[in-house]
Structure 1
Amino acid sequence: MSTRHTCPQCGHKKEFTLYVDERNVPIDESCGRCNRERCGYHLTPAEYFKEHPTNDRTDFTGWKQPEPVKVVPVSYLPSMLLVADTHRSKNNLFRFMAKEFGEVEANCVFDTYHVGTSRHWKNNDGLATTFPQIDDKGRLCQLKVMAYHPATGKRMKKQDQAELWSDKAQKYMPDTRPMDKIWFAGKTLLKNYEANLQQTFFGCHLIKEASRVGIVESEKSALICSILMPEITWIATGGCNGCKWTESVVFQPLIDKRVVLYPDAGMFAKWEEKAAILRNGGVDATVSRACEGLPHNWDVADVLLRERHAKRGMTVGEVLAYATEIGVINQIHVNV
């Protein structure tokens, strides 16, 4: 990758291989081949000199063909990583879900999605959560680890305090790194940092038996929505551009399914563009406006939780506590 350049035709970086002579000197910035099949740009030395007859470099004996693209096979993680979780009671996200929905519902949804527990981070006397990405053939593609606050269910960000497990020291150390508490563990678990891991949707293994599919960004939101709207099979992208979900190899399992995209507040236009890509690939995709006009950090799970709390009747204190959790406390006014 370090010897590749920007393609003069498609503009993609790290995709263009230049022709060079025996001294490893490029003929010209336009003389080479793009590795992207969709682009197909290929200007040989013969073609280049035919177009530039005034160039006096006519000895072709030293020109070397670009090396063929090396195809690295896709690697998968061992399925043994999906064994029964014996530390679930210490899982901070499970603690939040059990408080919100009860242990029976929380256990059921964790089992369905094979959500696990990791010692990678510790905070508030609890452990981190693992979200496996299992494809439609049952293969474990990646393992995403995230830290959560057990009271609010919010993921831990760079400013939040947590301890990081050190294999070298065999103990927890303060995590002072300036980054959110998210870690893709696949290559570390394989002990192969050159492994070719291809991500997929969280919940992809459930698509095959689904009639209706809902797509959200957050893995936690997929879990909550699957409890509150079980008639839909919920999957998560892991971020607006997570798991490269607009590439055909990723969204292929969605073909022939009724698919609704549920963008976070303020992201409708961007997700409409992504839905167009899915539709061009044969997916029956529409985009929900459920979060339009809501605060920036809201998603469909927040909407469903709000409706649930409203139905069961919340005290003033509960309303204020919930508003604080989801970051809209400044919009709440109480007259006593």
Structure 2
Amino acid sequence: MSTHRFILEPYKGVSTRHTCPNCHRQRCFSKYIDTEKQIQFPEYVGRCDHEQKCGYHFTPRDYFEQNPLEKDKFAENENSFRSYVPIKETQPIATSYIDLDIVNQSLRGYPANKLFQFLSAQFGEAETLNLMKRYKVGTSKYWDGATVFWQTDNQSKVRTGKIMLYNSETGKRIKEPYNHVTWVHSVLHKGDYNLKQCFFGEHLLSEDKSRPVALVESEKTAIIASYYLPQFLWIASGGKNGCFNVNSLSVLAGRSVVLFPDLGATDYWQSKISLMKSCGIEVQMFDYLEANATEDERKEGYDIADYLLKVKPGEAILQQMIRKNPVLETLIDTFDLKLISVQQGTPRPKVLPPKKRGFRL
């Protein structure tokens, strides 16, 4: 337990984080408080969380040096102030980033990309290329035809990349003889890499600040759903547990967010709603899938993309989808959406067994 009288106010929700008086960013400023509750410091006595870009830090000692009468007024004796020693704060380790040259080199070679091949069969090559470029999805040679999902934050800096291999016919991940997933910073042997993950698609938040956000687990799902339901800005957590922390969620403050968890993850995501609301996020949960899924769908771990992909080109698509999947009618009615039609894509290419290509990206 701290023995210091003056400390930075502990985090207890967004009400304890304020607008920085220097850089004017919201919800990033921590005020100093008196643990003995005798002194209430002015609004400017505190520290900005943006140490690199702002660096504002006005301590109680600074305040008393500028206002000696205030020290005399509130301190019962000189020893009460002299006993104050500023908290020795460890400097946070700077977040590591991937060199943009490496990222840009991956934004090509799409004809060999297995996920690109699968999506092209659904949407056509031109539309698939637009989706890959928009979400900054790359191609890796780590496995022949592998995909790189770059985690690009809202400052357009790349935190890392997740390398995954897909079956070009089914669109499913290759998990045999082992799960084909790894990380770019690991492949590059960056042992001292300080990874702080962000949402996949986070860079899109600054481009469109009004559109409601849809949060899913899978990067692939975010891409697919963004085609069918562009009324939402689709981002992905990268997994059931991904990005559910105050630092990661801060980029969604002030946004309207709808959660679309995979089957089996609804209860866990439901438990995170209070945390999200404390971060200033307006949250809704679309839990119709969990309540109405079949046993086979549960075993397969369906998500919203699996339902959206049950489309046959050349038919009355929306009616056919609703007939087979009543969940879609509920989704459309709930959020007053319009579904984008899908045209016949190019034939699905033959699947070749993956070959590991050493430690190249």
TM-score normalised by the chain length of structure 2: 0.58
Is it true that 1:196 corresponds to 2:217 in the alignment? Answer: no
> 1:302 maps to which residue?
306
From the superposition, tell whether residues 137 and 70 of structure 1 become closer, same or farther in structure 2 (CA, over 3 Å). Answer: closer
Q: Which residue does the alignment assign to 2:72? A: none
> 5+ residue gaps in structure 2?
2-9, 13-87, 322-361
Give the one of 127, 136, 140 matched to 1:105.
127
Q: Tell me how far 1:307 sits from its aligned partner.
A: 5.4
Matched, 1:75 2:81: no
Residue of structure 2 equivalent to 1:277: 275
1:259 equivalent in structure 2: 257
Deviation at 1:206, TM superposition (A): 0.5
CA gap 1:140/1:238 in 2 versus in 1, 3 angstroms: same
CA distance in 2 between partners of 1:227 and 1:214 (Å)? 13
Could you tell me the percent identity over the aligned residues? 32
Q: 1:154 aligns with which of 161, 167, 172?
A: 172
Letter in 2 for 1:291: L
CA distance in 2, matches of 1:270, 1:216: 13
SS at match of 2:147: strand
What is the CA distance between 1:132 and its match in structure 2?
0.2
Does the aligned pair in 2 maintain the 1:290–1:300 contact within 8 Å?
no
Contact 1:262-1:290 within 8 A present in 2 as well:
no
Q: For the residues of structure 2 that align with 1:103 and 1:138, how far apart are their CA atoms?
A: 26
1:286 Cα deviation from its structure 2 partner? 1.3
Q: 1:275 Cα deviation (Å)?
A: 1.9
Q: Quick one: distance in 1 between partners of 2:231 and 2:142?
A: 34
Does the Cα contact within 8 Å between 1:291 and 1:303 map onto a contact in 2? no
Residue equivalent to 2:65: none
Q: What SS class does the counterpart of residue 96 from structure 1 fall into?
A: helix
1:232 aligns with 2:236: no
TM-superposed CA distance for 1:188, in Å, is 3.8
Q: Conserved in 2, the CA contact under 8 Å of 1:93 and 1:149?
A: yes
AA matched with 1:184: W
Shift, 1:256, TM fit: 1.1
CA contact (8 A) 1:113 1:203 kept: yes
In the alignment, structure 1 residue 131 sits paired with structure 2 residue 130: no
AA matched with 2:278: N
Partner SS for 1:83: helix
Aligned-residue CA RMSD (Å): 2.3
Could you tell me how far 1:117 is from its partner in structure 2? 0.3
What TM-score does the superposition give when structure 1 sets the normalisation length? 0.63
**What is the CA deviation profile of residues 298-331 of structure 1, one whole-angstrom value per residue up to 9, with x for unaligned ones?**
10111222256674469xxxxxxxxxxxxxxxxx
C-alpha separation in 2, matches of 1:252 and 1:308: 40
Structure 1 runs (4+) greater than 3 angstroms displaced = 67-71, 307-314
Matched, 1:221 2:221: yes
Cα separation, 2, equivalents of 1:86 and 1:283: 36
1:215 Cα deviation after fit: 0.5
What is the alpha-carbon distance in structure 2 between the residues aligned to residue 255 and residue 303 of structure 1? 29
Q: 1:143 aligns with which of 158, 161, 168?
A: 161
User: Are the counterparts in 2 of residues 228 and 304 from structure 1 also a CA contact under 8 Å?
Assistant: yes
Amino acid at match of 2:136: H
Partner SS, residue 202 of structure 1:
coil
Structure 1 segment 42-53 matched on structure 2, within 5 A? none
Query: Any idea what the Cα deviations from partners look like across 1:182-217, whole Å, max 9, x if unmatched?
Result: 10112443x431121111000000112142100000
